[in-house]
Structure 1
Amino acid sequence: MGITVRRLEDRAQIYEVLREDRLYAAYAIGDLEPALFPDCEWYITSRNGRATSLCLSFSGLSPDRVFLMGSPGDLEAIVGDLLRTRRAYFSCRPQHLAVIRRSYSLRKTQVMLRMLLDPEKFSPVEGAVIRVGPSHVELLQDLYRWYGNVAFAPYQLEQGVFYAVESDGKLVATAGTHLVSRTYGLGIVGNVFTHSDYRGNGYATVCTSAVVEELLSQSMDVVLNVEESNLPARQLYEGLGFEVYCPFVETLGVRGGLAGRQVRMRD
């Protein structure tokens, strides 16, 4: 029996596929939350009634985010023919890169690590931090402008968990979450940044510790991403108790002028 390609809109069906590797698929699972789901397009391939691959295209950030899991060969039927985004950050396993390259020019490819925290190994670090809420959004955006490459949107502040160090009425260091899925019990730590004038004081550590502590208090699985080559950040996270779960790849793809094959979709 051949391959079947479908677009899925039922969250329960999508989660059944994602839960096969729940921690690798953490971001995609977070996008099942009602506030984010309208910005998603989900496609799966199947053979003999069993899902073999999945693709998520998320338009809630700029550029779009695309997540891939499953059989590289079967993903070609989605990435090559159905994925409509022209420019996107891909998150995938290394073996998926060849599939993406057939339709996209790749730039800024980075090897990443997904890290997981065992609650019993959490080693908190105390410090003077404040809980950051929607009223702090302008101060937080001012801080992130110093970095210039933070994937932050105000909805993350409204729906997530953020802490910061304050000095003279300004936020000088912060840590937060990329996603919080209370439905599925996942908290994804991210957006960690310290102003260059305030580095070396352990501020990023105390902010991250506070975020993790709140997520654990809600009985969530806590994960994060870090570049494999970013040794200082890895040491920070390892000091709090995080361990490597799996490697993956992030890359920016710009779609080329390749004509896709025609694929028959089933309703």
Structure 2
Amino acid sequence: MTPISNRQAPVTRLTDPAAVQRWLEDDRRWCAYALADLEEPFWSHAAFWVTAQPAPAVLLHLALPSWAVLWGHGAPAGLAAIVPALPSRPRAANLMLRAEALPEFARWYDFGEIEPMRRMVVTPATFWPASGAGAVRLHDPEELTAFYAGRAPGYDPAQVTRGIYYGVREADGRLCAAAGTHAVSPRAGLGIVGNVFTEPAARGQGLGRRVTAAVVTALFEQGCREILLNVRADNIAALSVYTRLGFETHCDFVETVATARPARSTLPQAGEHDHFSPRVAR
């Protein structure tokens, strides 16, 4: 543990994954990504800061080579105590928070578009599997990189080798729909679905539902107890697909690109957000 403090509250960086997990298990569905970050390849890039005063809160700074994430859990007052105590705040980050905590971060960051998001979850008891006919397991990161180009900012080729991807092909062999995993956490028994995309010309045939069902089925077969995803709260078509598969709403939150304040000279230059990578299913 690395203790630091501001004038109001002691803040500690936790360096033991088991200790971090104890702070996250009270709402493991909201904390699913953070629980997955307790394992490699994310753990070595993650810094978890906690405070118990004036109210319990956890802040994650995930500093990956091409993009950064700030994510918070707990009381807004606790998060407000952590942020100014950090020894180094990112200049730009993908910020994921419950809406009530956003004003506390506005003291330190300017925001881009604030996207309304929804966290959904399915379990073996609620899952309504669709027919997986025609969905095939995908193993080629380069093929998926070409398929998702400019259309799935959350896609990382490394997800293919460490996770699960399924797709549907046209008669000529070209992909027309695909879905996969952002992260899988055997430690927590969680799988996180993402990068669900169907070519516009192939929509209306249930392909998105089919490839998502194939991924979820494979995750349950691997031992995951809960499968989660993020989706824009106003994406009615995607919400319908996931609801028909048995996904249920766990909570709403917001996502935005945050840039550091107040010195304008320290703000990112044009193009610095090119690697922004939201953790969203569709």
TM-score, normalised to structure 1's length? 0.89
Sort the Cα spacing of 1:103 and 1:35 in 2 relative to 1 into closer, same or farther, 3 A: same
Q: Which residue in the other structure is 2:157 paired with?
A: 154
Q: Which residue in the other structure is 2:279 paired with?
A: none
Q: Which residue in the other structure is 2:197 paired with?
A: 193
Q: Would you say 1:6 and 2:12 are equivalent positions?
A: yes
Contact 2:57 2:72 in 1 (8 A): yes
Q: Which residue in the other structure is 1:240 paired with?
A: 245
Q: Would you say 1:256 and 2:261 are equivalent positions?
A: yes
1:112-131 equivalences in 2 (<5 Å): 112-126=117-131, 127-131=133-137
Q: CA deviation at 1:110?
A: 1.3
Give the counterpart letter for 2:109 in structure 1: Y
The match for 1:79 among 63, 83, 108 is 83
Note the aligned Cα RMSD (angstroms).
1.9
1:1-150 equivalences in 2 (<5 Å): 3-47=9-53, 52-60=56-64, 62-82=66-86, 83-126=88-131, 127-133=133-139, 136-147=140-151, 149-150=152-153
Contact 1:176 1:208 in 2 (8 A): yes
Q: Deviations over 1:58-96 (max 9, x none)?
A: 123743111101121221232234152111111111111
Write the distance in 2 (CA, Å) between the matches of 1:4 and 1:138: 47
Sort the Cα spacing of 1:61 and 1:190 in 2 relative to 1 into closer, same or farther, 3 A: farther
Write the distance in 2 (CA, Å) between the matches of 1:68 and 1:197: 39
Contact 1:61 1:151 in 2 (8 A): no
Q: Which residue in the other structure is 2:234 paired with?
A: 229
Give the counterpart letter for 1:5 in structure 2: V
Contact 1:39 1:60 in 2 (8 A): yes
Q: Would you say 1:216 and 2:220 are equivalent positions?
A: yes
Give the counterpart letter for 1:38 in structure 2: S
Contact 1:80 1:102 in 2 (8 A): no
- Number of aligned residue pairs: 254
Unaligned runs of 5+ in 1: 260-267
Contact 1:146 1:195 in 2 (8 A): no
Give the counterpart letter for 2:198 in structure 1: T
TM-score, normalised to structure 2's length? 0.85
Q: CA deviation at 1:213?
A: 0.5
Q: Which residue in the other structure is 1:263 paired with?
A: none
Higher RCO structure, 1 or 2 (CA under 8 Å, sep 6+): 1
Write the distance in 2 (CA, Å) between the matches of 1:169 and 1:241: 30
Write the distance in 1 (CA, Å) between the matches of 2:201 and 2:65: 29
Return 173-182 or 63-72, whichever deviates more.
Answer: 63-72
Return 107-116 or 205-214, whichever deviates more.
Answer: 107-116
Task: Please identify which structure carries the higher strand content.
Answer: 1
